[in-house]
Amino acid sequence: MRTYPGHVRQVQLDHWGQPGVWIACPQAAIPSPGRYLIGRGLEDEDAVLGTPLFAAGLDGDGFLAAPPIPSTWDPGTHLALHGPSGHGLRMPERAFHLALIALGKTPARLLPFATQVLNRPGTTVALFTDASLPWLPAALEVQSLPNIPEALAWADFLAIDIPLKSLAGLRLLLGLGAGERLPCPGELLIETPMPCGGLADCGACAIPGRRGWKLACKDGPVFDINELEW
């Protein structure tokens, strides 16, 4: 695992009132959508574990880290950034209709993926969320969560940001019956604590898979939807 230097460039409240940080770092350290870094403040001697950092926005000099972030990180805080780690979101080449589904508090972790996919010619993207939203590109269609079942007839790929505790209710949300499979491929970005960042196999991020338990920090945090029990 590579380690890169970084520093907190700016601390800001996002659209949902949660603190996020702009982190300046080398281009190679910027995590692609769905992947993560483990960040440690070099001045915080009491920090035993690092913080998983996901991108909620990108620029040429770094990225906006989605909350939560440590309250001790102020502008100028020097960081050690380990990674990027894990499997990220990947749109199949032959897919052109993407449904993004945000089931957590915010869709922040999905927005870089939306921007990436919208740059592909002929691709349409719809975001399903009940969260209030900041300014978004006009090409990104927004719908509420109850409309998700209708999207299954249109989408040829799903990307779902979902808290682990919500996994058991996913079938009902998608409007699928018992044993019914999705009509298109999809991936799940699992929201769960990853305290060891893949270094210790602590098991805190264990997720039930169809063929045994999986660790979000190593096997994910993005999974093929058919790999998990839901």
Structure tokens of 214?
A: 């999986």
CA-based nearest residue to 173, from 183, 162, 157: 162
Distance CA 99, CA 68 (A): 25
Torsions phi, psi for 154 (to 5 deg)? -105, -40
Which CATH number is 97-227 given? 3.40.50
Q: What is the pLDDT of residues 84-138, one digit of tens each?
A: 999 999 999 899 999 999 999 899 999 999 999 998 999 999 999 998 888 888 8
Residue range 215-222: mean pLDDT, rounded: 94
- The amino acid present at 44, given as its one-letter code, is D
Q: Does residue 199 register a pLDDT over 80?
A: no
pLDDT band at 222 (very low <50, low <70, confident <90, very high): very high
Report the pLDDT value the prediction gives residue 48, as an integer from 0 to 100.
66
Parallel/antiparallel/unpaired status of strands 3-13 and 78-85: antiparallel
Residue range 155-175: mean pLDDT, rounded: 94
Q: What is the pLDDT of residues 31-78, one digit of tens each?
A: 999 999 999 999 876 666 789 999 999 888 999 999 889 989 999 999
* 221 bridge partner residues: 87
Distance CA 2, CA 102 (A): 30
CA-based nearest residue to 134, from 70, 66, 192, 193: 66
* Contact of 110 with 123, CB cutoff 8 Å: no
Which CATH number is 3-85 given? 2.40.30
The residue ranges of every structural domain in the chain are: 3-85, 97-227
- The number of angstroms, rounded, from the C-alpha of 56 to the middle of its chain's C-alpha atoms is 8
Q: Does residue 22 register a pLDDT over 70?
A: yes
Residue range 218-223: mean pLDDT, rounded: 95
120-152 as b/e, with b when 16 or more CB fall inside 10 Å?
Answer: eeebbbbbbbebeeeeeeeebeebeeeebeebb
Report the run of H or E that residue 224 belongs to, with start and end. strand 222-224
Report the run of H or E that residue 22 belongs to, with start and end. strand 19-24
SS (H, E, C) 137-197: CCCEEEECHHHHHHHCCCCCEEEEEEEHHHHHHHHHHHCCCCCCCCCCCEEEEEECCCCCC
pTM attached to this predicted model: 0.92
Distance CA 196, CA 193 (A): 9
Torsions phi, psi for 182 (to 5 deg)? -65, 145
